[in-house]
Amino acid sequence: MTSRRRLSATLLFTLLVAASAAAQPSPAKKPATPASPHDQLHQRLDTAAEAALAKVVPWRRELHAHPELGNREVRTSTFVADELRAMGYEVTTGIAKTGVVGVLRGGTPGPVVALRSDMDGLPVTEETGLPFASKERGEYNGRDVGVMHACGHDFHMSMLLGAAQVIASLKADLPGTVKIIFQPAEEGVPGEPGGAEVMVKEGVLDNPRVDAIFGLHVGITPLEAGAITFRPKGLMAASDTYSIVVKGRQTHGAMPWAGVDPIVVASQIVLGLQTIVSRQIDLTTAPAVITVGTIEGGSRHNIVPDQVRMTGTIRTFDPEMRTQILARVKRTVENIAAASGATAELKLDEGYPVTWNDPALTERMAPSLKRVAVGTFNPNAQPTTTSEDFSYYGQKVPALFFFLGVAPKGSDPSAWAANHSPKFSPDEAALITGVRALASVAVDYLAGR
């Protein structure tokens, strides 16, 4: 075959193949799986959260610039109440002095979920140098003090307002009710009742009855902005304080047998208290701490005094263990004193209970928090010996409390100015994560996720 014929045959074959291919039907494209109704709800939630950020940042800066001490949050409570009303919430004020509650009823009946933020600042003079740094003053324990949101409650409030706005935008599709709680005096008020304990006593979890409650705290550890950590069961310690007055009988230091030496008895009590944790408690259940912080007695080197006063703190993570330890402290103190012919008066001041994360609720809501976490997500975080009065809500209804990282990305953890520092300055990049997290746990809980 000549080259011309070979070329013609090749061309003809190519044309026949092309024609055959054109005649064949194109393979059908696999249709995309449509997003589920709940996925669509998540998409709307995330879009609404991004839009809310335009208000959340200014809210945060306004609240940061004007902090108020516990039970004095008059301006703050008015601010958050007005914002909630503008969103369409039914608002009640004056709970536990300055507390605010907003209620939003969804499009269909269902469970009731609560989200909580604290509102009070601390008696700390700010040293951040921010353009919106606090210049406020207040009275604390009879002294004029600077006031600062040194624990991040300005973040908590602005993120909760943002979540409230997001939830309001989804109202028609929510099967149930959302209760937004702004609480005063989480940091405590010397000589006054206040905070979550009083909120609960005044019925904040009733009418409508709350089925589950959620809250968060920024900082605590130097995690990068957007990280979320928590754990089931005890997350933050119960915080109890005690004072002990050991009474002996004064005598000359050269003749101690003529009296009863309360200094020696107090020393034995210090050692005895340490054996409660090391020898009487099952530490595989949870850690515990008993600390003697002060011990005072005597006025002269050669006088056995008539009494010694001691104070300290007790930190526990398990409610049953807490009960055991408090009972054993009393037994140890009184019996050691009696064995030496002295007496001991113990005063226990029970503080915040264990911040207890309901295990079933924690497991159920973990996917909601994992979906919105930026970077670190740790559902088995180490417990912290700090305390929180969110714990009072958890004594009444299933509760979940989690931590949100607010340290600037790439910052040196060793240089981190922690909560309660006058230099505490959380990164606003974490605000969007907090808004999405709070809104997500509420929406997912109502949806039965």
As annotated, the active-site residues are: 352, 428
**Amino acid letter, residue 221:** T
Place of tokens 């034995």: 268
Question: Cβ neighbours of residue 135 under 8 Å, at least 6 residues apart?
Answer: 65, 126
CA distance 37 to 41: 6
**Amino acid letter, residue 337:** A
Q: Is residue 412 within 8 Å of residue 265, measured between CB atoms? A: no
Nearest to 401 by CA among 183, 157, 216: 216
Of how many residues is the chain composed?
Answer: 449
CA distance 307 to 249: 8
CA distance 179 to 106: 11
CA distance 412 to 408: 9
Neighbours of 136 (CB within 10 A): 19
Neighbours of 148 (CB within 10 A): 25
Q: Would you call 23 helix, strand, or coil by DSSP? A: helix
**Amino acid letter, residue 273:** L
CA distance 347 to 77: 35
Distance, C-alpha 177 to centroid of its chain? 22
H-helix or E-strand spanning residue 71: none
Q: Would you call 91 helix, strand, or coil by DSSP? A: strand
Q: Is residue 196 within 8 Å of residue 389, measured between CB atoms? A: yes
Residue 429 DSSP label: G
CA distance 219 to 407: 7
Q: Where are the alpha helices (DSSP H) in 301-358?
A: 319-339
Angle at 391 between CA 385 and CA 396, to 5 degrees: 155
Q: Nearest 5°: phi and psi at 30?
A: -70, 125
CA distance 111 to 211: 6
Q: Would you call 138 helix, strand, or coil by DSSP? A: strand
